[in-house]
Structure 1
């Protein structure tokens, strides 16, 4: 890990990600937005905040494919710096709004910029960290930072509010985005060396077509559903579980959320070790199994509420989806060529958030209609269905190697292949790229 952070490019990008997360994650901007909504709408604040979060998810789903279509045409450093500057400008405007509709407009712009920065950052990382082991460590460090942010940034917001008004949180968030922009601007981001073919419309749909064409990506889509189905338990129900089911206080809400973050952090720490000992398919499906254990544990909490049971359940809720999320980048990297990579990372960003767009309102509605236990039973059944779909859609050959034929004489690509009289035959993971536009042709 030390050698990884010795790379100035990775170190700058990592710090930029951490600074940006502190603003847009669960900390400064989120706390400030909640207080702003209360000032504007009072007893309707929850409705306003919920609608603002819905705007965020819609922006993520819609903007992701568009970003993928332009990320190989526009310098990626310029895209990330521009997104950071837009985000800084928007959060500085938020304290001045006087109407609820203005909040929605500004949040839409803010999240559009975030939906630009994040997938571009994710597509740059494998070009900066080229070694497989180092890239796995980079993904682990990135997920660990995200997990620790869920614990640290709310505490930072609380400390700031103890001495300053909530408007100061917006100023701090803007400063973070400016620091992120400066770090990215000073980093030598590799240029895209290959471009996806076709017009704008074709490129917008390229990532979705890759998910349809590649078996392991179809499995990943099912795993995205598992992550959203299990992870939503922590994000949507924690407050009510602590206050209503366990009889706890507001500080204990933060503690239970911290347990979930610790579970994800543990998954991030263990992922490089697991990646050295098992295939990506095995590691990610293991994350699905842990997610099923988490779903079962939440049902037990509903039937027999207790703090020990809740702590175990929430730790598993963090660990299971964490194992899947940390290793997603590795899977995307080996499933596409350089020309397809920006579109594929953007499609993953969009499709994964589409799953959350379904589970967020579903969980909120079920909690009111069916109670905690009924909600968690439904989510557990959905998680089982997603896991079964992932196992079915992602065959073992999609995780390891597929023996296939090239009819052309691309000797640079088939240097280790043998000639069979009908074509060159060799093996590697399933990938859709310029040499395999429709996927490898199996022998």
Structure 2
């Protein structure tokens, strides 16, 4: 798998991604702590609003960026967006009021939404061989999992001696490092293409999602992913700082448990997929996620919450979550006829972020209004129902 890193262009792109991911991870932890600092018990509501802005940007801006990016120089386009992201992160260091967060996050996420699809589209052009591209996708997934571990660990070490605001400087350096790496390589020029009907290209993929059982099932799996992920991302800070009244450093340690579970599963998934199908692994992971949330809810109901119970649940949730998430790209590949992969990926990208757009505010609202027990039961039930529907709509493995 690591042999593809011999390609200088991919190597620099990959390490640029890693730097940006770790910078984003530090910002996520700092934002959670800032939200609690500014709003206390209502931190989940503020965080859900912040992540809703992110999802809106990804749903709306990303397709537009994909349609117009070919009009610009690819490398300059990506570098400028990295610089905008770095400046936005730097501005977060000076935040003193909630309204400032919303404005800065809007700039940060719009630039990220414009950056992401173009970055993703660059990799297959650099690695045209299908096997190499598949290995690149696997490395990218592992990078996300490692980020959950390293960012949480680094944040924990920093928070021992410094305020959470310092974490935003790590984000700045992450984006600037990404820009430097991108500036050191020659990226392929965009192909000269004629203006096409953008809505028609998007609709093609969406129509396939409504037509084929496998893709219908994947849509409901997207709801599972968004539900479980929003519970972890939005509400962990409330469990740690409000319910348990633990210190700031306890938050990244708790997130570390989820990250460890996720990477353990990511390393095991290739082997597991030689034993079970993508569908079975995703459904098993979904059901395990339900059980972990229900188990923690019952523990809270009868024994009150404890940090050890939360850590164990988040570890199991990380394993389950990765089992659900990782095979998704394989499902898209198998659903393509060979010429429509980009349309299907664009549809999956939009639909998955639409699910996040719905679940972020719901997770924050239900935690703020009804507390931990009801929040775990409600989101666990959404995951259970989505798993049930995915199972019954995903009737066949072959669609051609």
TM-score (norm 2): 0.82
Change (3 A) 1:93 1:259: closer
**1:125-140 alignment runs, 5 A limit:** 125-129=123-127, 135-140=133-138
In structure 2, relative to structure 1, the CA distance for the partners of 1:394 and 1:87 (3 Å cut) is same
Aligned to 2:265: 267
| Alpha carbons 2:156, 2:253 under 8 Å: kept | no
Counterpart CA distance in 1 for 2:339 and 2:320 is: 32
Kindly state the Cα deviation for residue 24 of structure 1 after the two structures are TM-superposed: 1.7
Q: Aligned in 2, Cα 1:366/1:42: closer, same or farther, shift over 3 Å?
A: closer
Secondary structure of the residue aligned to 1:396 is coil
Rounded to whole Å, the distance in 2 between the matches of 1:242 and 1:355 is 26
Out of 279, 294, 304, which is 2:292 matched to?
294
2:181 to 160, 183, 191: 183
Given the superposition, is the C-alpha separation of residues 38 and 340 from structure 1 closer, same or farther in structure 2, using an over 3 Å criterion?
same
**Hey, what does 2:396 align to over in structure 1?**
396
Aligned to 1:352: 352
Q: Which residue of 2 aligns with 1:333?
A: 333
In 2, the alpha carbon distance for the partners of 1:248 and 1:285 equals: 34
Aligned length: 397
Q: Is the 8 A contact 1:21 1:149 kept in 2?
A: yes
Distance 1:91 1:260, change over 3 A: closer
Q: Structure 1 240/161 Cα, relative in aligned 2: closer, same or farther at 3 Å? A: closer
* Deviation string, structure 1 residues 124-150 (Cα, Å, up to 9, x no partner): 445545566655543343233222322
Structure having the higher Rg: 1
Unpaired runs of at least 5, structure 1: 403-443
> In structure 1, which of residues 45, 55, 58 is the aligned counterpart of residue 56 of structure 2?
58
Unaligned runs of 5+ in 2: none
Matches within 5 A, 1:12-411: 12-25=12-25, 27=26, 29-33=27-31, 46=43, 50-70=48-68, 77=75, 79-95=77-93, 101-129=99-127, 135-157=133-155, 159-160=157-158, 169-187=167-185, 189=187, 198-242=196-240, 249-305=247-303, 306=306, 309-336=309-336, 340-398=340-398, 402=400
Q: CA separation of 1:54/1:151 partners in 2, compared to 1, >3 Å: closer, same or farther?
A: same
| Relative contact order higher in (CA < 8 Å, ≥ 6 apart) | 2
C-alpha separation in 2, matches of 1:4 and 1:165: 39
Note closer, same or farther for the CA distance 1:36–1:278 as it changes in structure 2 (3 Å cut). Answer: closer
**TM-score, normalising length from structure 1?**
0.75
Q: Deviations over 1:388-428 (max 9, x none)?
A: 22223323234xx63xxxxxxxxxxxxxxxxxxxxxxxxxx
Higher alpha-carbon deviation: 354-363 or 238-247:
238-247
| CA 219–122 in structure 1, closer or farther in 2 if over 3 Å, else same | farther
Q: What is the match of residue 11 of structure 2?
A: 11
| Structure-2 change in CA distance of 1:189 and 1:319 (3 Å) | farther
Shift of 1:171: 4.2
Give the whole-Å Cα distance in 1 for the aligned partners of 2:20 and 2:196.
33
3-state secondary structure, aligned to 1:112: helix
Q: Describe the superposition over 1:372-400 as per-residue Cα deviations: whole angstroms up to 9, x where unpaired.
A: 232222222211211122223323234xx
Q: Report if aligned partners of 2:160, 2:249 keep a CA contact under 8 Å in 1.
A: no
SS at match of 2:326: helix
**Cα deviation, residue 269, structure 1:** 0.8
Distance 1:215 1:78 in 2: 41
C-alpha RMSD of matched pairs (Å): 3.6
Asked if 2 retains the 8 angstrom alpha-carbon contact of 1:87 and 1:110, the reply is yes
Q: Quote the Cα distance in structure 2 between the aligned partners of 1:175 and 1:250.
A: 23
Change (3 A) 1:155 1:301: same
Higher helix share: 2
